[in-house]
C-alpha cells in the first residue's frame, strides 16, 4: 500500500512568469465555471464531460489539451463530492490549476519544477527548506496543484507517493480517549488539557460577535472592513485548531512507535447529531460542535501509517462507564460511577481520573480488535457465575482422574 503525501512548496517567479501564472489560473477557473454551468448537472463522468465540451474549452479559454482535460476531471470530481453531500456545485472561486505528469515535472538536481501555462512551458525554482527537500528527495511525483496565496505568492502542492513501513504485530495497545475537557487522554497517562484551548476559542467567539454587531449597524465601509476581519479571524482559528491537533497526534504516534504498540481510538462518528438532541446551553453547544475531533483522528491515522503504527477504531459506547480494573458497570442504567472528572468503582473500589479510566477501557477493547482471540472482556461477577456453573463438573472430573 502506498501513501500519498502533499508537500507545499513556494515558487520563485519573475514578473513575466507571474503574469503567465495569473493568466493560466484565470483561464482555468473560468473554464471550470463555464463547464459547470453549461453541462447537465447529472453528468459526473470526466470522459463524458470531455466529449461534450473539450473543443469549446480549448477555443474559448486558450488552454492546452491536457489542461482542458484537467478541467473536465476537476468538475467531475467536484460533482461527485457534491452528490454525496446532496448539494450542487455552485461556483469555483479560488484560483488554482491541477497538473498531472504530462504537464508537470520535478527536477531534483536544481530543485525546480516545470509547469504548462497558456503561453508555453515555464521552469520555476522552489523556495523550500530541509523538510521539503527531505520529502522530495528521490521521489518521482506525478501530480501537483498550483495555488495563489492571499499575499500574492505562488505555491505548488506536490503529491508524493511513499511506501510506508510495514505495520508490526504487537499485543501492546495505547488507548486514546477524546473529549473537550481533556482534548486527548492516553492509557499511558499523557493528557492534553483543554482549559487553555477553551479560553482561546472563547476569545475568538467574543471577537466574532463584536464584529458581527458592528457589521450590522455600521456604515458601508465599516461593514466591509468587519467582513474582511471576520474572514481573517475564521482562518486564524482554523489554523490554530489544526496546529493543536498536529502536535497532539504527533506526540501520540511518537509514543506508540517508541513502545512498539498500536493505537486504539474512539469512533465518534455522528457524535454531534446525537449530542445535539439533548437540551444544552448555547455555549455548551458551541464548544462541543466547534472542535475538530475527526481532524485529530485523521492526523493520528496518517502519521501512524508513516511510522508503521497500526490504528484501530473501537465503539465509544460505555467506555466512560466501565471500570478498567474489574470491567464492572453500574447496575442502574440511569446512574454511573463517573462524577465529572472522577471515577469511583462501586465494585472493586478503584478511584481515579475518569478520562484515564476511559482510555484504559479503550485500550482493552483495542487489544481484542487488534488480536482477535475471543471476547476476554467480562466483569468478575460474570467470571464468578461461570466458575459456579463449572464447579461440580470439574470436581467430578478430578475425582475420576484421581481414582
Kindly report, residue by residue over 153-209, the tens digit of the pLDDT: 999 999 998 888 888 788 889 999 888 778 888 999 888 887 777 788 788 888 888
| Interatomic CA distance for residues 192 and 186, integer angstroms | 9
pLDDT value at residue 385: 42
| Strand pairing class (104-107; 112-117) | antiparallel
pLDDT value at residue 3: 84
Percent of the chain beyond pLDDT 70? 86
pLDDT value at residue 284: 60
- Residue 36's nearest CA partner among 72, 83, 67, 82 is 72
Q: Which residue has the higher pLDDT, 289 or 122?
A: 122
Residues facing 72 on adjacent strands: none
In this model, does residue 374 exceed pLDDT 80? no
In this model, does residue 103 exceed pLDDT 90? yes
| Interatomic CA distance for residues 145 and 120, integer angstroms | 17
pTM over 0.85: no
pLDDT value at residue 377: 57
H helices then E strands: how many in the chain?
A: 11, 15
Window from 13-17, 66-70, 215-219, 290-294 with minimum mean pLDDT: 290-294
Q: Other C-beta atoms within 10 Å of 148: how many?
A: 18
pLDDT value at residue 275: 59
User: If pLDDT is split at 50, 70 and 90, which confidence band does 401 have?
Assistant: very low
User: If pLDDT is split at 50, 70 and 90, which confidence band does 115 have?
Assistant: very high
Percent of the chain beyond pLDDT 90? 40
Which residue do the cell numbers 476537476 mark? 74
pLDDT value at residue 54: 94
Q: Which residue has the higher pLDDT, 20 or 291?
A: 20
pLDDT value at residue 266: 86
Window from 20-34, 209-223, 354-368 with minimum mean pLDDT: 209-223
Mean pLDDT of 339-347: 84
pLDDT value at residue 206: 83
In this model, does residue 95 exceed pLDDT 60? yes
| Interatomic CA distance for residues 120 and 64, integer angstroms | 9
pLDDT value at residue 26: 94
In this model, does residue 11 exceed pLDDT 80? yes
Sheet of 154-162: strands edge to edge?
A: 96-100, 143-148, 154-162, 3-12, 120-127, 112-117, 104-107
- Residue 309's nearest CA partner among 372, 252, 248, 362 is 252
Mean pLDDT of 364-375: 72
pLDDT value at residue 403: 31
pLDDT value at residue 114: 95
Exposure string for 116-136, b = 16+ CB within 10 A, e = fewer: bbbeeebebebebeeebeebb
Q: Which residue has the higher pLDDT, 43 or 209?
A: 43
User: If pLDDT is split at 50, 70 and 90, which confidence band does 397 have?
Assistant: very low
pLDDT value at residue 71: 95
Going by the DSSP 8-state scheme, the letter that residue 167 receives in this structure is: P
Window from 155-169, 208-222, 307-321 with minimum mean pLDDT: 208-222
240-285 pLDDT, tens digit per residue, is 888 989 999 999 999 999 999 999 998 877 665 665 566 666 666 6
| Interatomic CA distance for residues 356 and 192, integer angstroms | 12
In this model, does residue 299 exceed pLDDT 50? yes
Amino acid at each position: 500500500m502506498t501513501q500519498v503525501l502533499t508537500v507545499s512548496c513556494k515558487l520563485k517567479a519573475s514578473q513575466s512568469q507571474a503574469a503567465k501564472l495569473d493568466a493560466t489560473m484565470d483561464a482555468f477557473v473560468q473554464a471550470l465555471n463555464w463547464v459547470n454551468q453549461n453541462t447537465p448537472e447529472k453528468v459526473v463522468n470526466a470522459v463524458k464531460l470531455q466529449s461534450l465540451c473539450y473543443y469549446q474549452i480549448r477555443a474559448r479559454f486558450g488552454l492546452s489539451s491536457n489542461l482542458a482535460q484537467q478541467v473536465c476531471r476537476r468538475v467531475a470530481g467536484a460533482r461527485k463530492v457534491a452528490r454525496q453531500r446532496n448539494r450542487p456545485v455552485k461556483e469555483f472561486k479560488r484560483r488554482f490549476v491541477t497538473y498531472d505528469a504530462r504537464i508537470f515535472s520535478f527536477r531534483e538536481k536544481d530543485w525546480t519544477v516545470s509547469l504548462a501555462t497558456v503561453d508555453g512551458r515555464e521552469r520555476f525554482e522552489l523556495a523550500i527548506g530541509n523538510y521539503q527537500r527531505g520529502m522530495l528527495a528521490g521521489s518521482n511525483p506525478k501530480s501537483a496543484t498550483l495555488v495563489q496565496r492571499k499575499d500574492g505568492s505562488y505555491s505548488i502542492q506536490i503529491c508524493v507517493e511513499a511506501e510506508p513501513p510495514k505495520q508490526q504485530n504487537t499485543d501492546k495497545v495505547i488507548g486514546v480517549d477524546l473529549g473537550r475537557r481533556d482534548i486527548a487522554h492516553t492509557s499511558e497517562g499523557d493528557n492534553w488539557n483543554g482549559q487553555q484551548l477553551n479560553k482561546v476559542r472563547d476569545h475568538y467567539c467574543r471577537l466574532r460577535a463584536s464584529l458581527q454587531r458592528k457589521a450590522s449597524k455600521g456604515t458601508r465601509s465599516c461593514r466591509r472592513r468587519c467582513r474582511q476581519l471576520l474572514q481573517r479571524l475564521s482562518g486564524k482559528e482554523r489554523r490554530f485548531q489544526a496546529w493543536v491537533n498536529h502536535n497532539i497526534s504527533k506526540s501520540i504516534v511518537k509514543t506508540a512507535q517508541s513502545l512498539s504498540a498500536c493505537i486504539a481510538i474512539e469512533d465518534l462518528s455522528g457524535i454531534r447529531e446525537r449530542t445535539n438532541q439533548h437540551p444544552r446551553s448555547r455555549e455548551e453547544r458551541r464548544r462541543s460542535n466547534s472542535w475538530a475531533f475527526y481532524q485529530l483522528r485523521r492526523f493520528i491515522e496518517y502519521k501512524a501509517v508513516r511510522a508503521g503504527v497500526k490504528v484501530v477504531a473501537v465503539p465509544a459506547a460505555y467506555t466512560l462507564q466501565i471500570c478498567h480494573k474489574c470491567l464492572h458497570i453500574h447496575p442502574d442504567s440511569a446512574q454511573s460511577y463517573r462524577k465529572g472528572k472522577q471515577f469511583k468503582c462501586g465494585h472493586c473500589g478503584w478511584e481515579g481520573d475518569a478520562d484515564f479510566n476511559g482510555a484504559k477501557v479503550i485500550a482493552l477493547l483495542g487489544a481484542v480488535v487488534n488480536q482477535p482471540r475471543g471476547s476476554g472482556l467480562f466483569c468478575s461477577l460474570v467470571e464468578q457465575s461461570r466458575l459456579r456453573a463449572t464447579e461440580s463438573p470439574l470436581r467430578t472430573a478430578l475425582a475420576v482422574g484421581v481414582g
